[in-house]
Structure 1
């Protein structure tokens, strides 16, 4: 097929059939050719070529746009909303939140015990986490909007254990979104719960150090991957999936990760999924050296790195798992009001159901919070979402306003 494109869209490997310029106006003497490399592209630009026609039958075509990639993924991968529709909730969101609160405390206590054992040089039995992982899977199955948003709320003092639990909750939701079997999801979650146990062998000041690490310091931090597996292998018989999560959650799609600099499909599905949930939860958590990023901002950065650091198809699927504005996110509306996202619309994630709670102009809470469906054209006096906001910036309790 002959396709006309701008010179800025030209890529090495494309087959040019028309330069759309008189031959006297440039120095390119051959009319049809395959573009060799980037220098070849720049030579055409230097000759004043602005448009060309390419033959997609003889060379590569334009890559699909980000929207096209997401649409393609949507056709291949079942959305979380579809799974939720097939599995009716057996309990209300409020009741599941109460259960999830207790479960997160139990999970954090168990992980803390394992971390302390590792730090003391004692045995670490990952099998102790299996009952907790099973309960987490049941919770997400009953109501996926309870455990995941609550797990995002952390204390800096207990970040390590709460990060482990939060990534497990995320990978459970992610695994269900992809239609993985429950035993495989359990292995993924177990791996994420113990993936950072090797931190126990590293000076805590390095883990929380602000600014750039030296080459020697970074090498020490990188060693936590294999240190963790060494501790776990001494006492546990981990599945291949769980081991892949531990070993590969810092590998990157473009080969720039560690410890083995694996790239693309060399990294297992478990490792590619773990890299996404680990990075997302870290970005949306407050650390001693930086503030927490809003979920929507973190998702935008992950999406921009799709095809570079992260598997682009999995990033698109993860966005559909948590939503562009995940449940529990504080958002600013066009009216100047702040609202909390309560429920997502699977067909349009930009217009969720929100609870309007605060007027930024008057700097006061509404006497009666108002629930508003932003997808409705009638009855919405607040407008659409302008951006995600930080609870900390406005002095609002994130825990108090989590949907119930």
Structure 2
């Protein structure tokens, strides 16, 4: 029998058959699954589910007398505490936080550069120097998640290596926070992500940036940067297990076709599976000597298509929810023919963000900027998003029109 119950009534052993929400509104990949334990219930509650349907023939039914009332009381207390913590968090405007983030990116990039130069010179790599700046990055994401990661995505070609390290760290912090990870774990994730490519220092820079295909032997050399990086770090630094997992596993793939160990599925740690997603996303959205960047929305579509093969499908969905289908800073074309820049994301409606309209595509000329909330049925004369666009195609400066 199919029974609809409150998510707070779920118990281990029940079998869920309907979540009663659109798939874009949450990060749960499977639609039908057994409830493993109370932590599994907590995850569903944290995702914002209200009601679910269970199949009492495939799992447990509500018992005649159950501890649900006590569980509900505890859950209400937890929710109250969480809301109290959120209320204490400082609220900062996007413009102010972006100014702070710009300084923070510069500081972090300088530190990563120093560590890379130390590795190249055979000196000690003191990874602990990064811990204070990682802490500041976490604080920035907590204050306003739409500032640091979108700004870090804008890179200089000649500083890609260090700025990629900072950008992926910003992304994994936002990703981990969306997953509800505690701050100590976010610190370990971010530190490992900042250091994951330090093994490049042992490889000829021309090989790393050369246009065109690599030979099999050359690709093997490039792949060696993973273990080279860990060797450099282990010689001078004591890293946590989470940080080491990021360094070792960010090129592993869910289907077992990655490197260096060809791990598959849950053999890859959660940290490694998350790092693989942010590393690939940031690489795809960055200009490289051998290919131009693609738009964030196209990169997300490609990641989604590869969910279940290259990447953990549940984590891909969670990452889409983290950055939005149209991430902050994306240039989009509206039904009216106008172009706008995504300013804010609605977590409950990822397809209809807040945009700043800046350009008329048909007339190919700028218009007086106006902020439009595409989720509102009244006051939107521009329609919905038709496509994501490239700034370069329209001759528009991405730096000038980033949200402030």
Write out the 4+ residue segments of structure 1 that deviate beyond 6 Å after TM superposition.
82-85
2-side partners of 1:77 and 1:370: how far apart?
A: 37
Name the CA shift for 1:349/1:113 in 2 (closer, same or farther; >3 Å): same
Q: How does 1:2-401 map to 2 (within 5 A)?
A: 71=26, 73=28, 76=44, 78=46, 86=86, 89-366=90-367, 368-401=368-401
- Deviation at 1:210? 2.0
1-side partners of 2:98 and 2:275: how far apart?
A: 25
2-side partners of 1:306 and 1:328: how far apart?
A: 24
Unaligned 5+ runs, structure 1? 2-61
2-side partners of 1:167 and 1:399: how far apart?
A: 19
2-side partners of 1:334 and 1:70: how far apart?
A: 24
Question: Do the aligned residues in 2 keep the contact of 1:252 with 1:310 (CA within 8 Å)?
Answer: yes
Name the CA shift for 1:69/1:383 in 2 (closer, same or farther; >3 Å): closer
Name the CA shift for 1:274/1:202 in 2 (closer, same or farther; >3 Å): same
Aligned residues: 340
Match of 2:73 in 1: none
Unaligned 5+ runs, structure 2? 2-16, 30-42, 49-78
- Deviation at 1:70? 6.8
2-side partners of 1:157 and 1:77: how far apart?
A: 45
SS in 1 for 2:333: strand
TM-score scaled by structure 1? 0.80
SS in 1 for 2:352: coil
SS in 2 for 1:362: coil
2-side partners of 1:154 and 1:199: how far apart?
A: 18
Name the CA shift for 1:329/1:68 in 2 (closer, same or farther; >3 Å): closer
Name the CA shift for 1:238/1:352 in 2 (closer, same or farther; >3 Å): same
2-side partners of 1:310 and 1:390: how far apart?
A: 26
Two-structure CA RMSD over aligned residues (Å): 2.3
- Deviation at 1:211? 2.3
Match of 2:33 in 1: none
Question: Do the aligned residues in 1 keep the contact of 2:26 with 2:317 (CA within 8 Å)?
Answer: no
Name the CA shift for 1:332/1:78 in 2 (closer, same or farther; >3 Å): farther
2-side partners of 1:221 and 1:79: how far apart?
A: 39
Spell out, residue by residue over 1:131-175, the C-alpha distance to the aligned partner (whole angstroms, 9 max, x if none).
110000010011111101101100100000000000000000001
SS in 2 for 1:344: strand
- Deviation at 1:314? 0.5
Question: Do the aligned residues in 1 keep the contact of 2:331 with 2:389 (CA within 8 Å)?
Answer: yes
2-side partners of 1:114 and 1:271: how far apart?
A: 22
- Deviation at 1:76? 3.2
Question: Do the aligned residues in 1 keep the contact of 2:27 with 2:317 (CA within 8 Å)?
Answer: no
Spell out, residue by residue over 1:81-137, the C-alpha distance to the aligned partner (whole angstroms, 9 max, x if none).
x99994555221111111110000000000011111111222111111001100000
2-side partners of 1:76 and 1:177: how far apart?
A: 13
2-side partners of 1:150 and 1:364: how far apart?
A: 25
Question: Do the aligned residues in 1 keep the contact of 2:126 with 2:236 (CA within 8 Å)?
Answer: yes
Question: Do the aligned residues in 1 keep the contact of 2:253 with 2:264 (CA within 8 Å)?
Answer: yes
1-side partners of 2:44 and 2:91: how far apart?
A: 28
2-side partners of 1:180 and 1:342: how far apart?
A: 26
SS in 2 for 1:339: strand
TM-score scaled by structure 2? 0.80
| Rg (Cα) greater in structure | 1
1-side partners of 2:130 and 2:383: how far apart?
A: 45
